[in-house]
Amino acid sequence: MALLVQKFGGTSLGSIERIKAVAQRIKSSKEKGDDLVVVVSAMGHQTDELTRLASEITVDPPHREMDMLLSTGEQVSISLLTMALNELGTPAISLTGTQAGIITESAHGRARILEIRTERIKNLLDQGQTIVIAGFQGTTLGIGGIAEITTLGRGGSDTSAVALAASLEAAKCEIYTDVPGVLTTDPRIVKNAKLMKSISCDEMLELASLGAAVLHPRAVEIARNFGVTLVVKSSWDNLDGTTLTSNKKPDFSQGGIEHRSPVDGLELLENQAVVALSNIPDRPGIAAELFESLSEGGVNVDLIIQATHQIDSNDITFTVAENELHNALTQCKKLVNTIGGDISFQKDLTKLSIYGAGIMGRPGIASSLFQILSDSGINIRLIATSEVKVSCVIDAELGKKALRNVSEVFKLTDKQITVNPTIENNNEPEVRGIALDKDQIQISVKNVPDKPGTASTICSTLAEKNISLDTIVQSERKHKDKTKDISFTLKKNDRSDAKYALKELIGNWKGSNLEEGESIVRISAVGSGMPFTKGTAGKIFRALANQKINIEMIATSEIRTTCIISEKYGEKALNEIHSCFKLGKNES
Ligand code: ASP
Ligand code: MG
Say what the pLDDT of residue 86 is: 98
Which bound ligand lies closest to the C-alpha atom of 47?
Answer: 1
Cα–chain-centroid distance for residue 383?
A: 17
Size of the chain, expressed as the number of residues it contains = 588
Of the residues 49, 154, 215, which should be mutated to test ligand 1's pocket, given the most ligand atoms within 8 Å of the CB?
A: 154
**What span, in angstroms and rounded, lies between the C-alpha atoms of 573 and 549?**
8
What's the average model confidence in pLDDT over 3-28?
96
What's the average model confidence in pLDDT over 451-456?
80
What's the average model confidence in pLDDT over 443-456?
84
Class of domain 3-176: alpha beta
Low-confidence winner among 305-309, 342-346, 422-426 (lowest mean pLDDT)? 305-309
Q: For residue 90, is pLDDT > 80? A: yes
Which bound ligand lies closest to the C-alpha atom of 50?
Answer: 1
Quote the ligand 1 centre to 155 CA distance (angstroms). Answer: 4
Residue 482's Cβ-count burial label (10 Å; 0-12, 13-18, 19+) is exposed
The answer to pTM > 0.75 is yes
> Where along the chain do the CATH 3.30.2130.10 domains lie?
265-580
Say what the pLDDT of residue 283 is: 82
Low-confidence winner among 122-126, 311-315, 322-326, 472-476 (lowest mean pLDDT)? 472-476
Quote the ligand 1 centre to 43 CA distance (angstroms). Answer: 9
Alpha helices in 88-156 (DSSP H): 119-126, 141-144
DSSP β-ladder status, 513-516 and 440-449? antiparallel
Q: For residue 524, is pLDDT > 90? A: yes
What's the average model confidence in pLDDT over 365-370?
88
What's the average model confidence in pLDDT over 539-555?
91
**Pick from 506, 359, 526: nearest CA to 445:** 506
Q: Is the CB of 44 under 6 A from ligand 1?
A: no
**Pick from 244, 224, 107, 254: nearest CA to 181:** 244
Say what the pLDDT of residue 144 is: 66
Q: For residue 250, is pLDDT > 80? A: no
Say what the pLDDT of residue 385 is: 81
pLDDT band at 305 (very low <50, low <70, confident <90, very high): confident
Q: What is the pLDDT of residues 417-428, one digit of tens each?
A: 999 988 777 788
pLDDT band at 332 (very low <50, low <70, confident <90, very high): very high
Of the residues 157, 218, 220, which should be mutated to test ligand 1's pocket, given the most ligand atoms within 8 Å of the CB?
A: 157
Say what the pLDDT of residue 50 is: 98
Say what the pLDDT of residue 127 is: 96
Say what the pLDDT of residue 367 is: 86
Backbone angles phi, psi at 305, to 5 degrees: -140, 130
Q: Is the CB of 47 under 6 A from ligand 1?
A: yes
| Average of per-residue pLDDT values in the chain | 91
**What span, in angstroms and rounded, lies between the C-alpha atoms of 234 and 232?**
7
DSSP β-ladder status, 520-526 and 513-516? unpaired
Low-confidence winner among 78-92, 388-402, 548-562 (lowest mean pLDDT)? 548-562
Index of the ligand 1 atom closest to the CA of residue 9? 7
Q: For residue 310, is pLDDT > 70? A: no
Q: What is the pLDDT of residues 461-508, one digit of tens each?
A: 988 888 888 777 776 667 778 888 888 888 898 999 999 999 999 988
User: If you take atom 8 of ligand 1, which residue's CA is the nearest one?
Assistant: 155
What's the average model confidence in pLDDT over 232-260?
83
**54 in helix, strand or coil?**
helix
Say what the pLDDT of residue 157 is: 97
Q: Is the CB of 73 under 6 A from ligand 1?
A: yes
Quote the ligand 2 centre to 219 CA distance (angstroms). Answer: 11
Q: Is the CB of 10 under 6 A from ligand 1?
A: yes
Low-confidence winner among 96-110, 132-146, 249-263, 563-577 (lowest mean pLDDT)? 249-263
Q: In the chain, what is the straight-line distance between the N-terminal and C-terminal CA atoms, in Å?
A: 36
Say what the pLDDT of residue 516 is: 87
**What span, in angstroms and rounded, lies between the C-alpha atoms of 115 and 258?**
8
What's the average model confidence in pLDDT over 33-58?
97
Q: For residue 40, is pLDDT > 80? A: yes
Quote the ligand 1 centre to 33 CA distance (angstroms). Answer: 30
Say what the pLDDT of residue 253 is: 61
Q: For residue 247, is pLDDT > 90? A: no
Quote the ligand 2 centre to 132 CA distance (angstroms). Answer: 16
Query: Residue 588: what residue type?
Result: S
Index of the ligand 1 atom closest to the CA of residue 48? 4
Q: Is the CB of 156 under 6 A from ligand 1?
A: yes
**306 in helix, strand or coil?**
strand
**What span, in angstroms and rounded, lies between the C-alpha atoms of 421 and 559?**
14
Say what the pLDDT of residue 312 is: 72
Percentage of residues in the chain having pLDDT higher than 90: 63
> Where along the chain do the CATH 3.40.1160.10 domains lie?
3-176
User: Among the CATH numbers 3.30.565.10, 2.170.130.10, 3.30.2130.10, 1.10.10.10, which is that of 265-580?
Assistant: 3.30.2130.10
Quote the ligand 2 centre to 214 CA distance (angstroms). Answer: 8
**491 in helix, strand or coil?**
strand
Residue 249 CB coordination number (10 Å): 8
Find the farthest-apart pair of alpha carbons in the chain and give their distance in angstroms, rounded: 80
Of the residues 40, 47, 66, which should be mutated to test ligand 1's pocket, given the most ligand atoms within 8 Å of the CB?
A: 47
Quote the ligand 1 centre to 133 CA distance (angstroms). Answer: 13
Q: Which residue has the higher pLDDT, 451 or 258?
A: 258
Query: Across 13-27, 250-264, 276-290, which has the greatest mean pLDDT?
Result: 13-27
Q: For residue 167, is pLDDT > 70? A: yes
Q: Is the CB of 13 under 6 A from ligand 1?
A: no
Q: For residue 96, is pLDDT > 90? A: yes
Q: Is the CB of 97 under 6 A from ligand 1?
A: no
Q: What share of the chain is helix, strand, coil (3-state, %, to 5)?
A: 35, 30, 35
Say what the pLDDT of residue 251 is: 67
Say what the pLDDT of residue 309 is: 61
Low-confidence winner among 27-31, 172-176, 244-248 (lowest mean pLDDT)? 244-248
Index of the ligand 1 atom closest to the CA of residue 136? 5
Low-confidence winner among 227-231, 422-426, 444-448, 525-529 (lowest mean pLDDT)? 422-426
Say what the pLDDT of residue 311 is: 66
Residue 195 carries which DSSP code? B
107-to-149, 168, 358, 530 alpha-carbon distances in Å: 10, 25, 15, 38
Index of the ligand 1 atom closest to the CA of residue 45? 4
Say what the pLDDT of residue 271 is: 95
**Pick from 422, 448, 430: nearest CA to 321:** 422
Query: Across 181-195, 306-320, 365-379, 418-432, which has the greatest mean pLDDT?
Result: 181-195
Q: Is the CB of 159 under 6 A from ligand 1?
A: no
pLDDT band at 254 (very low <50, low <70, confident <90, very high): low
What's the average model confidence in pLDDT over 551-559?
85
Q: For residue 356, is pLDDT > 90? A: no
